[in-house]
Amino acid sequence: MAMDRRQFAALGATSFASLLAQKLWAEQVRAIASPDKFYFALLADSHIIDDFYVKGSENGIEDNQSILLTTPRLISARDLINSLTPSIEQVFLIGDYFHNYPSTDYDFYFKNTTRLDNAKAITDGFKMPVHIGFGNHDYDVRKVSREMSHRLFATKFNAQPYSVVDYKGFKFVHLNNFLGSTQSKISSDFNPGIGSLGEEQLHWFEGQLQQHKPTFVFIHYPLIQNTPTEFADYGLLPLLRRYQETIQLVVSGHMHKWIDFAHTYGPQHYVMAATRYDPNAYMLMEVDTKRVTWRFMNASLIEWSTHYSKPYRAI
């Protein structure tokens, strides 16, 4: 989509903050520089749109305004992350990569340039690998089959419904809370607002945890919005508690606000805000492979229970 003057100004206004961020990052990391450390970043809810998007179709003024700024805001976050030295080595985007489907026809997405292509064009601009997870807007379980969504993700993004990245002795797991019975129209407990994983994914997840490598877990719906157990007493929440010594952190999106659930579900659980509303909605993470510890580098800048974070800059 073409960028109007307001979008251009919004993007330009962040450039100065980006320069300050580079300075602060370098100062913080230099003080604790170590070959045992590496850095990754988290993003969520970018909600990229295209020229087929119908303006004014959201709920309320804030949503209708924010959806038109999703592209420059994700670009701003990308450019900040790209600018940091030492470098961020991996990026994970926790769902709602794009915003809904403009067509239920699979071929439409290969005959037209759509929001899927726009989202990929932006994330292709990252200097490091970007790993995409599924959000509810990356599906449309009432109108578009999950199989079609999976085909599009595999073909367009080389992304699977759920996945793991093994990196420097750590695991980074993208779970998918749209594969269980609550997301199936033919199920008696169909409720798209409640997440569930399904038996196959739950067993796969436990198999990853049984390797006892320190693991970061990403899942679009916050844990409070997921079915605790799905098969007798077997389910996501018992697994999180059983392996809480292995699981370093669970991060979700969807709520578009910063929420700290602390250890309500066993491991530390954060819900992160959305680049849709704030170009500063990112988590910059440091991992110490020797001590097996992690640090949320910009935690002090978060405005909890809001959409917003202060920019990562010298203040």
For 242-278, how does the pLDDT look when each residue is reduced to its tens digit (9 = 90+)? 999 999 999 999 999 999 999 999 999 999 999 999 9
Q: What is d(CA 78, CA 282) in angstroms, rounded to the nearest whole number?
A: 9
| Residue 140 backbone dihedrals phi, psi, to 5 degrees | -150, 80
Give the pLDDT score at 281. Answer: 98
Q: What percentage of the chain has pLDDT greater than the value 70?
A: 89
Amino acid at 65: Q
Single pTM value for the model: 0.91
Tokens 């695991």, residue located? 171
Mean of the per-residue pLDDT values of the chain: 93
Per domain, the residue ranges of the chain are 5-294
More confident residue, 47 or 20: 47
Q: pLDDT tier at 299 (50, 70, 90 boundaries)?
A: very high
**The domain defined by 5-294 carries CATH number 2.30.40.10:** no
Sign of torsion over alpha carbons 219, 254, 39, 36: negative
Beta carbons of 248 and 214 less than 8 angstroms apart = yes
pLDDT of residue 258: 98
pLDDT of 70-116, one tens digit each? 999 999 999 999 999 889 999 999 999 999 999 999 999 999 999 99
The tally of CA atoms less than 13 A away on the side-chain side of residue 282 is 25
* Token pair belonging to 67: 């959806």
User: So what's the pLDDT on residue 30?
Assistant: 60
Choice between 59 and 4, residue whose per-residue pLDDT is larger = 59
Rounded CA separation 112/99 (Å): 16
What are the tens digits of pLDDT across the range 168-216? 999 999 999 999 999 999 999 999 999 999 999 999 999 999 999 999 9
Give the full edge-to-edge strand order of the sheet including 130-132: 130-132, 90-93, 37-43, 283-288, 293-296
- Tens of pLDDT, residue by residue over 178-189, are 999 999 999 999
The answer to whether 76 and 279 are in contact (CB under 8 A) is yes
Q: Is the pLDDT of residue 298 over 90?
A: yes
Spatial distance between the Cα atoms of 183 and 188, rounded to a whole number of angstroms: 10
Q: 315: pLDDT confidence band, cut at 50, 70 and 90?
A: very low
- Banded model confidence at residue 32, pLDDT cuts 50, 70, 90: low
- Residues 291-308: what's their mean pLDDT? 97
Query: In which element (H, E) is residue 314 found?
Result: none
**Mode of pairing for the β-strands spanning 259-262 and 215-218:** unpaired
Helix (H) or strand (E) segment spanning residue 13:
helix 5-31
Segment (H or E) for 163: strand 163-167
CB-based contact 130:97 (threshold 8 Å):
no
User: Which pLDDT band, with edges at 50, 70 and 90, does 240 fall under?
Assistant: very high
- Provide the pLDDT confidence category of residue 312 given band limits of 50, 70 and 90: confident
Q: What pLDDT does 314 receive?
A: 35
CA dihedral for 216, 222, 227, 233, sign (positive or negative): positive
- pLDDT at residue 226 in the model: 98
Q: Is pLDDT above 70 for 117?
A: yes
Tell me: pLDDT of 15 over 80.
no
